[in-house]
Structure 1
Amino acid sequence: MKRSPRLRDLLLTIALNAVNAPPAPFFYGGQAVVEGVLMRGRRHFAVAARRPDGTVIVYSDLLRQRMYNSRFWSLPFFRGVAGLVEMLHLGMRALQWSVRVQLGEEVQISSSTMRVAMAGSFVFAIALFIGAPLGISALLHRAPVQSVTGVLIEGGIRAAILIAYLLLIGQLPNIRRLFEYHGAEHKSINTLENEEPIDVAHVQRNSRLHPRCGTGFIVVVALVSIVVFAPLGVLQPALRIACQIALVPVVAAISYEVIRALARIRHTRVGRIALAPILSAQLLSTREPDASQIEVAIRALDAARAVEPTVGELVETP
């Protein structure tokens, strides 16, 4: 069947638009470290920290290109797992560097020590957010713990534990400082995405809350896990815990896509309503930063946006 000129022109227009379409926007991300901020760019990352003597030191390096160049790990859902693994690895690396900045470059923290610390953190998280909710649910729930209702109660308890945990650690002075740098990181990225000049004055005026946040991700994980774990309610407790651990990557992948989708519609009414619990949780994990902390976040963001020839360089400023 011969296509009409009008249909042919329409198909040609669609094809040309697809070829000439602008690339998908890249979203910078980051996290707070000891007296500093980590920022992740397209191909490299940068971490800035303030030394005890008041100077700021910045380090940048390449990201692991094999993961970012892989089509498989760029697919929806799979990219969430890849992003989570990368941020855990990158976060531990930046945290290790920031500790050395505070204690002195001569202090060496071995990779084995960091692996043990990461393993310990993982076990603690499993015990706190999977084991504890199951145990508390068994004590509070009159019906057999092997039920869908029991899993729903677990989800509510898991959310309550998260809130209590953030409230508790937020009282510690060092963690409060970390939360202030977390706020500085959010403010800097908000300033960039609002296309405003990235200086202390403009950054200070922006919100310390951001839809693409690790805290928000954890909140979404807690909500998604209620749905994903619901069918496991018929299992015995030990088997249920094993299955929940095995399904963590699935929950993380779904949660990552939810966060991305909500971030795209954050300026709509539906987006604002859906993001309300995510942003509210960040009131617990962020604090208003001062000008010196914002300066550190800006230095990290500027370095993350810099060209590749600066990769691997150390830069100090008064």
Structure 2
Amino acid sequence: MNKTVLFFLAPFYAAKSTVGGQAVIEGVMMRGKEKIALSVRRKAGNIQSLVNPHIAYKERMPLLKIPILRGAATFIESLVIGMRYLSISADFAMEDEKGVQTTKSWKDSFYLGLSIAIAFVAGMGLFFALPYFITGVVPYTKESNPVLFNLTAGFIRIVFFLAYVWGISFMKDVKRLFQYHGAEHKSIFCFEAGQELTQENITGFSTHHPRCGTSFLLIAAVSCILVFAVIDALIALHWAAYVHPPWHLRLAVHLPLIPLVSGISFEFLKLSDRFSANPVVGALSLPGLLLQNITTEEPDASQIEVAVAALKNAV
């Protein structure tokens, strides 16, 4: 699978608060309090596992335990770790395809960095620049207030996001990835319920997890509307040139706010998990859970076996 596509997928699997994970190519990565474990199904049928020590950013720096800051730190950390282990699984897949063990060179590192850069630019263009440009040419938004502009741009952004997720779900490799995503969720559910990690127990749990990164991204898309509207209004009060700014100026102002949006979204995700029995919280969380109908698939027994191997190594 192309590594540029992989980078787009990394945010779907934002790490959970205690035990977290993500699907990778033919495998699962799990994060515990002190370890990260990767397990993949090799072409020969065996499960290959890697275990590395890891202490979360917020545990290393007490300042990052402050609400909002911890969310921003967790999001950035999840992106970095997610891409790293997706890349490792891609290397294993390449070895199986070629039939020989590959050795990374400076060219491989360069192309990986280039893929990440391309994915970042494409993501900013698709989910930020293009919605702003489209909104800017809509007649009723030209002389509108910041709330109406950001509401329109936010709606377009969400439509693009849903279309993107739906579109990639038809790719064969992504379908396999989403099955492992389901295996990851089921295994974590079983672990959090205190049950033994057996095929029979795990099969009974849902593939939809309230702390999934898919839900996080949908929450973040809504948070963008609120945060950007407030910031735009405050800036316009003190800077006349920003009353009706061009899309590129608005983009330059909004991009640095992404960590703030991530932090707010993370806190809401934690609250929704803690108060999941509350009907209001449940209603607000429902769209993210429904979206997991696309980003997760029912796994088979062999995929659950891989997820269990990773989870046991991580905890």
TM-aligned CA deviation for residue 237 of structure 1: 1.6
TM-score normalised per structure 2: 0.84
How many residues end up aligned between the 2 structures?
281
| TM alignment of 1:148-297, pairs within 5 A | 148=146, 149-231=148-230, 232=232, 234=243, 235-297=245-307
Q: Which residue of 2 aligns with 1:99?
A: 90
Aligned residue type for 1:192: F
Distance 1:281 1:145 in 2: 34
TM-aligned CA deviation for residue 112 of structure 1: 3.1
Q: Which residue of 2 aligns with 1:143?
A: 141
Report Cα offsets for 1:227-281 as digits up to 9, x if no partner: 0111427333221011111111110111111111111011232232121011011
Give the SS at the match of 2:141: coil
TM-aligned CA deviation for residue 146 of structure 1: 6.2
Distance 1:145 1:45 in 2: 51
Distance 1:125 1:146 in 2: 26
TM-aligned CA deviation for residue 69 of structure 1: 2.3
Distance 2:227 2:290 in 1: 24
Contact 1:26 1:42 in 2 (8 A): no
Q: Which residue of 1 aligns with 2:114?
A: 116
Aligned residue type for 2:283: I
Q: Which residue of 2 aligns with 1:315?
A: none
TM-aligned CA deviation for residue 175 of structure 1: 0.7
Distance 2:86 2:143 in 1: 40
Matched, 1:28 2:19: yes
Report Cα offsets for 1:191-215 as digits up to 9, x if no partner: 1112222111211110000111111
Matched, 1:49 2:40: yes
Q: Which residue of 2 aligns with 1:80?
A: 71
TM-aligned CA deviation for residue 159 of structure 1: 0.9
Give the SS at the match of 2:23: strand
**Mean alpha-carbon deviation: is it higher for 253-262 or for 64-73?**
64-73
Give the SS at the match of 2:206: coil
Higher-Rg member (1/2): 1
Query: CA separation of 1:129/1:268 partners in 2, compared to 1, >3 Å: closer, same or farther?
Result: same
Aligned residue type for 2:219: V
> Identity of counterpart residues, as a percentage?
34
Q: Which residue of 1 aligns with 2:8?
A: none
TM-aligned CA deviation for residue 26 of structure 1: 5.8
Contact 2:28 2:39 in 1 (8 A): yes
Query: CA separation of 1:66/1:142 partners in 2, compared to 1, >3 Å: closer, same or farther?
Result: closer
Distance 2:292 2:110 in 1: 32
Distance 1:207 1:271 in 2: 19
Give the SS at the match of 1:42: coil
TM-aligned CA deviation for residue 46 of structure 1: 0.4
TM-aligned CA deviation for residue 68 of structure 1: 2.2
Computed over aligned residues only, the root mean square deviation of the Cα atoms, in angstroms, reads 1.8
Aligned residue type for 1:175: V
Contact 2:68 2:264 in 1 (8 A): yes
Query: CA separation of 1:216/1:35 partners in 2, compared to 1, >3 Å: closer, same or farther?
Result: same
Higher helix share: 2
Aligned residue type for 2:90: V
TM-aligned CA deviation for residue 135 of structure 1: 2.1
- What are structure 2's unaligned runs of at least 5 residues? 1-15, 96-100, 234-242
Matched, 1:301 2:311: yes
Q: Which residue of 2 aligns with 1:60?
A: 51
TM-aligned CA deviation for residue 141 of structure 1: 4.2
Q: Which residue of 1 aligns with 2:131?
A: 133
Aligned residue type for 1:99: A
**Mean alpha-carbon deviation: is it higher for 36-45 or for 143-152?**
143-152
Report Cα offsets for 1:147-179 as digits up to 9, x if no partner: 321211111111111111111000110111111
